[in-house]
Amino acid sequence: MSNESYIKKEREEDLISVVVPIYNEEGSIPGLFEELRQTLKGLKSSYEIIFINDGSTDDSLKKLKELEKVTIIDLNRNYGQAVALDAGFKASRGDIVVSLDGDGQNDPRDIPKLIEKLEKEDLDVVAGWRKNRKDRGYVCFITFMARFLRRLFIKDEVHDSGCTLRIYRREAVKSLDIGGEMHRYILALLRWKGFKIGELEVNHRARKYGSSKYGFTKALRGFIDLIYIWFIHKYSQRPMHLFGLMSFVSLAFGGLSLFWSLYARIIFNVSLNRNGWFFVGFFCLLIGVVFFSFGIVLDLLIKIQLTMSPHEKRYYVRRIIKTEKKKER
């Protein structure tokens, strides 16, 4: 079943959709659900809660099936948090969409004040800022370095791009199509699309159950995605601008190296096969031609993609489960 057609997507006004990705969080699910239900009952709007089981190998799915009146999107394997969020966003029907982690570290009681800020300041997204984080030291260090790199590459001024607790307007989430480790760059992508973004300090709690899924491997994949979105943002329309510049620099350096080699051969009688600059220059000329050719090929591929708009299934949904309200005894 494709990621575009697995659930009805009619819009419902005054509906709040809550999207929660789950991966091996069996211990956190019952408590988180009760907190969510109590918080959402205090709001004037109706709500739906969508859990995405991202290929859990523990009893998370079993725990989810025991909950009342929730929608469970059961992915056929573990794809990662970005894909799980994408599946939930596509299934959501509300005007307001809330996302938060399934580990219980995000506090559902922050949802009302985030919605209030969204409405009061007429924003499209309000992101939570975990100013006082309750994570281990190495996680805080990795996120500090990630924030520095985001500011360096994509000018991202948001304090906490990794906090999943956010409030979106429907138009914002429906504009997204994310995968990989791209959930960390949702705010940057939305800012580039012209959506108005705000942030608010939220409570962050220590993990009670399970273990963190974040580590150096995910951080490395996140850095690769950072380079990718930097390139897409800056050169997606004309990649030839980047590769043309690289080609020009390489050809210029190669030409100067060959000129120096010929000059040394004529003036100082230095044999070309003993002059390292000759080989460096020849190599740079080849690289320059490769960069230029690669830029042309990318340009053509992008034009073909825009013309044909191929649709590729990035993930598969095993089934959709809608639990019922439990009968009172």
Q: How far apart are the first and last CA of the chain?
A: 38
pLDDT at 11: 62
Cα–Cα dist 151/132, whole Å: 20
Residues 6 or more apart whose Cβ sits within 8 Å of residue 185: 150, 154, 156, 161, 225, 226, 229
pLDDT at 72: 98
* pLDDT tens by residue, the chain, 329 residues: 444 444 445 566 689 999 999 999 999 999 999 999 999 999 988 999 999 999 999 999 999 999 999 999 999 999 989 999 999 999 999 999 999 999 999 999 999 999 999 999 999 999 999 888 776 666 667 667 777 777 777 777 788 888 999 999 999 999 998 876 678 889 988 998 999 999 999 999 988 887 766 656 766 777 777 777 777 677 766 677 778 888 889 999 999 999 999 998 888 888 888 888 989 999 999 999 998 888 778 767 766 665 555 445 678 999 999 998 765 54
Assess contact for 98 and 166: CB atoms under 8 A.
yes
Assess contact for 174 and 86: CB atoms under 8 A.
no
Give the closest residue to 322 by CA, choosing from 87, 92, 71. 71
Cα–Cα dist 192/236, whole Å: 13
From start to end of the chain, where are the E strands?
12-22, 46-53, 71-75, 94-99, 125-129, 166-169, 197-201, 317-322
Residues 6 or more apart whose Cβ sits within 8 Å of residue 225: 180, 181, 182, 184, 185
Number of C-alpha atoms within 13 angstroms, CB side, residue 182? 18
Tally Cβ neighbours within 10 Å of residue 276: 9
pLDDT at 22: 97
Q: Is 168 helix (H, G, I), strand (E, B) or coil?
A: strand
Cα–Cα dist 63/134, whole Å: 26
β-strand pairing of 125-129 with 71-75: unpaired
What would the two tokens of residue 274 be?
């003993």
Assess contact for 96 and 16: CB atoms under 8 A.
yes
Q: What DSSP assignment string belongs to 190-232?
A: HHHTT--EEEEE--B----SS-----HHHHHHHHHHHHHHHHH
Cα–Cα dist 322/112, whole Å: 25
pLDDT at 207: 86
Give the closest residue to 290 by CA, choosing from 279, 302, 298. 298
Which amino acid is located at 322 in the chain? K
Q: Is 72 helix (H, G, I), strand (E, B) or coil?
A: strand
Would you put residue 26 in left (φ > 0), alpha (ψ -120 to 50) or beta?
alpha
Residues 6 or more apart whose Cβ sits within 8 Å of residue 243: 291, 292, 294, 295, 298
What would the two tokens of residue 204 be?
């962050």
Helix (H) or strand (E) holding 175: none
Which amino acid is located at 144 in the chain? F
Assess contact for 102 and 22: CB atoms under 8 A.
yes
What would the two tokens of residue 225 be?
């995605």
